[in-house]
């Protein structure tokens, strides 16, 4: 009964989305205020129904109802509760239901909360959001029903992919989806503003918290995903330029550009057409990402279940939504009045450089990700594009971006003098020069990209806190704090990346019990190997003792064998010190009783993810700061009235 109820709720929510689109479109076309008045409540009810359907799917997974095909294929009674819960979205149908639920909740929240925007623009926005929702409801109901029954019900489920049975990963997909879908709201705002030709500061202020929120979630999702790949896959790397990783990076790059251009539009009423374009591009990248992941047309370590019919469905949705929005853009943007002008040397000018560089990096990642596909379509040749391309093409641009990032926040809006900027940048420039001398003296053989990464990071760190100099810190607005922390996070993360790439020590050894090895500042002794058992796996566990100076500690890497479904994973053992991480992976034994061990010393590697977290925290503070200021402004206006 529960599965049928879920399906019925889904049909109802889909029907409401159709109604929401229809009433909005007709109401706007023929100026029918009575029809328009129904759109907001419908959006809220649609969100409630979709959430209930998703809650029922979670219930089916937690109670392991094996008469439901999806549960039987992905759940298992021996699985820990957390993974029964997370299993409901760790598969195609469930994740699509989660996607549509978040889409509906986003639309409902806009309908409930948004008060700044002109009503007609808001209705157009909600209609656009309903149009996106409608496509995904159709996708769920016609091509991937999560509530389909299985008859007869099997005695036991097939379990969840063991790689996904990890607390970090249980929450990785929801975080990324919140980001993707948050961008759908920015997209709907852009479409709504194009429909009513209402692109201006009010539109930018309404859109900004959604862009910031989505961007924070994407940042967290990418950071968490990167750390998961680092410790779970046991390759010792933190970014692989895999198509699915790129699929999450591309919307992030577009959203980063968007949240900076939206600031120009909100503050100075400039970059109108460009901001609308970026909002469309950011959500396009989310959908392209979803398409690449779900259609399986690119080979990736993320082996999701692949079905060409689903791929065609998503491609059709992509063509309709993005094609439609771009056509609307071409037709309407000419009638959007040009925004206000500004000098080249100004905050706006720096933000344009930021936008151009981010767009160029986005283009590089997009071309690199799709090149194998294009090459095969044209010449039939199989090609893979790897880290050397991405690093050498995007790396230098990222360095220039860091330099622009150092100067941007120190520039005044509208117009500024180069000479006074030079004065403000004197101390950061001095620190950059000092860092250059120090790195060359301490690490003479360092390669050029990590060297510049470290040096620019030092300069950027100094420049990013500069907006707080000579300022009463208690009166500095929250969003300035947000900006400072996020920019500092970029410096911290870049320092981690450069240090990891330049100074990592790696050893691959065939070790007998009792042997010792040196790696970085540690001496590691291989003590023992013993079997251990977990709830749904058995493992071989190695015990090693690492010594540094007078302190020593035990490390216990495992090679785990899961039995439902059968698979092997490596649980690396990682010890975090103040100046880096010691990373150990246990491999297979050979016939003479020696074990493969991989040992890494990765100095300052944790800064990569610490920086990511800082960027997300900065974004959250900025969002909060803007919301608070708008709220206070609204109250003041009411008091005046």
Residue ranges in contact with another protein by CB under 8 A: 277, 284, 288, 291, 295-299, 306, 308, 311-312, 315, 318-319, 322-323, 326-327, 329-330, 333-334, 370, 373-374, 376-377, 382, 591
In this complex, which beta carbon is closest to another protein, that of residue 382 or of residue 470?
382
1 or 377: CB nearest another protein: 377
Q: How far is the CB of 271 from another protein (least distance, A)?
A: 16
Cβ closest to another protein, residue 550 vs residue 588: 588
Residue 20 or residue 286: which is nearer to another protein going by CB?
286
b/e 518-531 (16+ beta carbons within 10 angstroms → b): ebbbbebbbbebee
Q: 73 vs 297, which CB is nearer to another protein?
A: 297
Q: How far is the C-alpha of 95 from the C-alpha of 75, rounded, in Å?
A: 14
Rounded-to-integer distance, Cα 265 and Cα 246, Å: 28
Least gap, CB of 316 to another protein (angstroms): 10
- In angstroms, give the least distance from the CB of 364 to another protein: 15
Residue 441's CB is within 10 A of a number of other CB atoms, namely 8
Task: Report which of 501, 505, 515 is spatially closest to residue 452, judged by C-alpha positions.
Answer: 501
- Could you give the 3-state DSSP secondary structure of residue 532? strand
**Residues in CB range of 171: below 8 A, 6 or more apart:** 86, 224
CB 97, CB 53: distance < 8 Å: yes
Angle at 78 between CA 77 and CA 83, to 5 degrees: 85
Residue 249 vs 502, nearer CB to another protein: 249
Residue with Cβ nearer another protein (308 or 633): 308
- Shortest gap between Cβ of 283 and another protein (angstroms)? 12
User: Minimal distance in Å, beta carbon 20 to another protein?
Assistant: 26
DSSP state letters, 386-409:
-HHHHHHHHHHHHHHHHHHHHHGG
Q: CB of residue 376 vs another protein: minimum separation in angstroms?
A: 8
Distance separating alpha carbons of residues 84 and 160, to the nearest angstrom: 9
CB 192 within 8 A of CB 252: no
Backbone torsion region of residue 520, taken as left when φ is above 0, otherwise alpha when ψ lies between -120 and 50, otherwise beta: left
Q: How far is the CB of 490 from another protein (least distance, A)?
A: 28
Name which of 153 and 315 has its Cβ closer to another protein.
Answer: 315
- DSSP annotation of 468 reads G
Q: How far is the CB of 277 from another protein (least distance, A)?
A: 7
Largest CA distance in the chain: 86
Q: Which is nearer to another protein, 374 or 532 (CB)?
A: 374
Nearer to another protein, 307 or 527 (CB): 307
Q: What angle do CA 305, 306, 311 make, to 5 degrees?
A: 135
- Closest to another protein by CB, 472 or 592: 592
Residue 444 or 566: the one with the smaller Cβ distance to another protein is 566
Buried/exposed 183-192: b ≥16 CB within 10 Å, e otherwise: bbbbbbbbbb
Q: What minimum distance in Å lies between the beta carbon of 244 and another protein?
A: 15
Minimum CB distance to another protein smaller for 284 or for 569: 284
CB of 121 to another protein, least distance (A): 21
Percentages of the chain per state (helix, strand, coil), in multiples of 5: 65, 10, 20
Least distance CB 559 / another protein (angstroms): 18
Q: Provide φ and ψ at 154, rounded to 5°.
A: -75, 155
Q: Report the residue number, 163 or 314, with the smaller CB distance to another protein.
A: 314
First to last CA, the chain: 54
CB of 378 to another protein, least distance (A): 9
E strands present in 43-149 = none
Listed in order, strand segments (DSSP E) in 160-213 are none
Q: Quick one: which of 266, 102, 288 has its CA closest to 182?
A: 102
The distance of closest approach from Cβ of residue 107 to another protein in the complex, given in angstroms and rounded to an integer, is: 24
Helix or strand or coil: residue 211? helix
Who contacts 93 (Cβ-Cβ below 8 Å, separation ≥6)? 70, 140, 144, 145, 146
Question: Closer CB to another protein, residue 220 or residue 278?
Answer: 278
Helix (H, G, I), strand (E, B) or coil at 62: helix
376: its two tokens:
């095969």
Cβ 68 vs Cβ 157: under 8 Å: no
Minimum gap (Å) between residue 297 Cβ and another protein: 4
Q: Residue 461: exposed, middle, or buried by beta-carbon count in 10 A (0-12, 13-18, 19+)? A: buried
Compute the half-sphere exposure of residue 197: CA atoms within 13 Å on the CB side of its CA: 9
Query: Helix 478-503 crosses helix 607-640 at what angle (to 10 degrees)?
Result: 170
**Distance (Å) of CA 139 to CA 142, 315, 321, 632:** 6, 11, 14, 42
Residue 570 β-bridge partners: 559
Nearer to another protein, 261 or 501 (CB): 261
- Shortest distance in whole angstroms from residue 528 CB to another protein: 26
φ, ψ at 219 (rounded to 5°): -60, -50
Please state the closest distance from residue 291 (CB atom) to another protein, in A.
7
């Amino acid at each position: 009964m529960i599965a049928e109820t879920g399906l019925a709720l889904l049909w109802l929510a889909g029907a409401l989305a159709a109604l929401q689109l229809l009433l909005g479109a007709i109401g706007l076309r023929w100026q029918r205020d009575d029809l328009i008045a129904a759109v907001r409540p419908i959006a809220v009810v649609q969100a409630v129904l979709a959430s209930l359907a998703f809650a029922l799917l979670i219930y089916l997974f937690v109670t392991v109802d094996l008469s439901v095909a999806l549960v039987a294929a992905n759940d298992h009674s021996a699985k820990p509760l957390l993974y029964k819960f997370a299993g409901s979205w760790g598969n195609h149908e469930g994740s699509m239901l989660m996607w549509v639920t978040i889409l509906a909740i986003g639309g409902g929240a806009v309908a409930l909360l948004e008060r700044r925007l002109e009503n007609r623009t808001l209705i157009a926005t909600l209609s656009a959001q309903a149009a996106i929702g409608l496509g995904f409801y159709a996708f769920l109901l016609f091509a991937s029903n999560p509530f389909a029954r299985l008859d007869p019900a099997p005695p036991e489920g097939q379990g969840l992919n063991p790689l996904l049975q990890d607390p970090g990963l249980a929450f990785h997909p929801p975080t990324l989806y919140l980001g993707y879908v948050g961008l759908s709201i920015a997209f709907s705002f852009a479409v709504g503003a194009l429909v009513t030709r209402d692109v201006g500061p009010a539109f930018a202020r309404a859109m900004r918290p959604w862009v910031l929120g989505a961007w924070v979630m994407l940042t967290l999702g990418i950071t968490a995903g990167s750390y998961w790949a680092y410790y779970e896959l046991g390759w010792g790397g933190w970014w692989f330029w895999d198509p699915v990783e790129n699929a999450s990076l591309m919307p992030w790059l577009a959203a980063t550009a968007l949240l900076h251009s939206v600031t120009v539009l909100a503050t100075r009423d400039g970059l109108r057409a460009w901001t609308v374009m970026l909002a469309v591009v950011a959500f396009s990248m989310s959908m392209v990402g979803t398409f690449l992941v779900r259609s399986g047309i690119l080979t990736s370590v993320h082996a999701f279940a692949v079905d060409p019919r689903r791929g065609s469905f998503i491609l059709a949705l992509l063509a309709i939504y993005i094609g439609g929005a771009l056509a609307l853009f071409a037709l309407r943007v000419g009638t959007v009045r040009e925004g206000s002008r500004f000098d080249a040397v100004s905050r706006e000018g720096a933000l344009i450089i930021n936008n151009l560089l981010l767009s160029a990096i986005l283009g590089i990642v997009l071309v690199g990700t799709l090149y194998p596909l294009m090459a095969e379509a044209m010449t039939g040749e199989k090609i893979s594009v790897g880290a050397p391309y991405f690093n050498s093409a995007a790396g230098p641009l990222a360095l220039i971006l860091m330099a622009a990032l150092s100067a941007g926040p120190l520039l005044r809006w509208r117009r500024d003098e180069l000479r006074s900027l030079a004065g403000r940048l004197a101390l950061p420039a001095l620190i950059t020069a000092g860092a250059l001398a120090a790195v060359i003296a301490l690490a003479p053989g360092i390669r050029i990209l990590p060297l510049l990464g470290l040096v620019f990071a030092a300069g950027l760190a100094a420049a990013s806190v500069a907006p707080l100099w000579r300022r009463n810190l208690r009166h500095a607005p929250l969003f300035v704090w947000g900006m400072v922390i996020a920019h500092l996070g970029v410096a911290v993360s870049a320092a981690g990346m450069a240090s990891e790439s330049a100074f990592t020590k790696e050893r691959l050894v065939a070790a007998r019990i009792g042997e010792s090895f040196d790696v970085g500042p540690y001496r590691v002794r291989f003590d023992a190997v013993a079997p251990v058992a977990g709830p749904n796996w058995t493992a071989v566990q190695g015990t090693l003792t690492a010594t540094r100076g007078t302190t020593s500690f035990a490390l216990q890497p495992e090679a785990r064998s899961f039995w439902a479904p059968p698979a092997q994973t490596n649980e690396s053992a990682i010890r975090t010190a103040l100046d880096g991480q010691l990373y150990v992976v246990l491999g297979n034994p050979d016939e003479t009783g020696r074990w493969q061990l991989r040992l890494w010393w990765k100095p300052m590697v944790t800064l990569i993810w610490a920086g990511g977290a800082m960027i997300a925290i900065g974004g959250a503070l900025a969002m909060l700061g803007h919301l608070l200021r708008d709220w206070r402004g609204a109250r003041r206006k009411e008091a005046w009235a």
